[in-house]
Amino acid sequence: MQHFSGHGALRYPDEAANPYLDQSEDDTGYILIVDDHILIAEVLASMLGESGYRSAIATNGQAALEMVARRRPDLILLDMRLPDIGGLDICAKLKQQEDTRLIPIIIVTAHADRQAQLMSIAAGAEGYLQKPIDMQELDLRVRTLLQVKRRNDTLEPAENVIFALARTVEARDAYTEGHVQRLALYSVTIGERLGFSGAELTALRYGALLHDVGKIGIDETIIRKDGPLTPAEYRVMQQHTLIGERIVAPLRMAAKVGPIVRGHHERWDGTGYPDGLAGETIPLGARIVAVVDAFDAMTTQRTYNQVINYAEAAARLEAGAGTAWDPEIVAIFVGWLTAHGMLPPLERTVG
């Protein structure tokens, strides 16, 4: 076995060198065992191997996090007490990150008190086992959690398809190249200033990226029309918010993303669509996307407008604050633009 620096952490420079990780291509599951007692970890690895599972070992928290970053396991057996970072802290950290939050984690501890169980649940763990471990119970828990993870993994293709549709919508209109990426940047910037974090911030980013995905269901002659839409065409165009909400429904974060997609054309004064919501009854994420969407539309070439500079666009946002847009969000966004030198502070007038 090979030892790396890191206070005795058992690590392997590559997976091929790890005697507990079989590189054969199968779907039995790759399990990361995190325990500072190496003999216990090796026994667990051997027993899991008899059940057909591949595994790797880390003997402290930092090594575990590095190994997860290198290669995401299908499940983690995580000792509650480690020499550097507590197992519950590691669990909470992984559950807060979008790319690791769906990895099932079983907390292992020598203490069978109710408080430890409650703390494990609060950290986001899917399971809790007491030492000495009942291998029959461990095998059952591992098999069950891996089955759940595989079902969750099947949602990824749906997400990939939805984001591919969003890229298709953008590609249909050469004038909007880079539009959704800019909206995602602007929206996340505002969200951070409003205290968004974790999944809430991810949902806001998704909402910005997918806000117009429903246009995939709108006639291309309307999308590309050079000039104002007729009332009938405008009513058709309004349907993209409802179509978009239905498209994003398969997303794991649909409950947070859907209201942004549906509501990004609502207005602060209640005259928007599709529901005529007003003020703070409009979902906050939709209010954010509405502001940055309007700003980007004013400052990039479209078939239906004349480009204006950032200063003029910011002035128009301020003029519409309290009628079209949430005044607080407008103030935060304009303040950010100013702080980053994107607006000349004394020359903002409507053109």
Q: For residue 305, what is the DSSP state?
A: B
CB neighbour class for 61 (10 Å; exposed up to 12, middle 13-18, buried from 19):
buried
pTM for the model: 0.58
> Which residue type occupies 279?
G
- 68 Cβ partners below 8 Å, 6+ apart? 32, 76, 94, 100, 103
Beta bridge partners of 3: 10
Closest CA relative to residue 294, chosen from 323, 270, 256: 323
Give the position of tokens 């550097």: 84
**192 phi/psi in degrees, rounded to 5:** -60, -40
How confident is the model at residue 121, as a pLDDT? 82
Q: What pLDDT does 163 receive? A: 74
pLDDT at 25: 38
CA distances from 220 to 147, 169, 215, 223, 225 (A): 42, 10, 9, 5, 8
Q: How far apart are CA 276 and CA 111, in angstroms?
A: 55
Residue 198, CB-side half-sphere exposure with 13 Å CA sphere: 9
- For the residues of 106-166, what is the DSSP string, one character each? EEEES---HHHHHHHHHHT-SEEEESSP-HHHHHHHHHHHHHHHHHHHTHHHHHHHHHHHH
- Short-list 146, 148, 152, 154, CA closest to 32: 146
Find out whether 79 and 133 touch, Cβ atoms under 8 Å: no
Helix (H) or strand (E) holding 238: helix 231-238
* pLDDT score recorded for residue 303: 58
Question: Which candidate, 67, 1, 70, 2, places its Cα nearest to that of 34?
Answer: 67
- Neighbouring residues of 38: CB distance < 8 A, sequence distance ≥ 6: 10, 57, 59
Estimate the share of the chain in helix, then strand, then coil, as percent rounded to the nearest 5.
55, 10, 35
CA distance 292 to 322: 15
> Domains in the chain, please, with CATH?
15-153 (3.40.50.2300), 156-339 (1.10.3210.10)
Q: What is the mean pLDDT of each run of 10 residues along the chain (351 residues)?
A: 33 38 53 92 90 91 91 91 89 86 87 76 84 84 84 66 74 66 93 93 92 87 84 93 91 91 97 97 98 92 74 95 98 94 59 39
- The position carrying tokens 């029959």 is 136
Q: Closest Cα to residue 127, out of 139, 148, 145, 103?
A: 145
Residue type, 101: R
Strand partners, 96: none
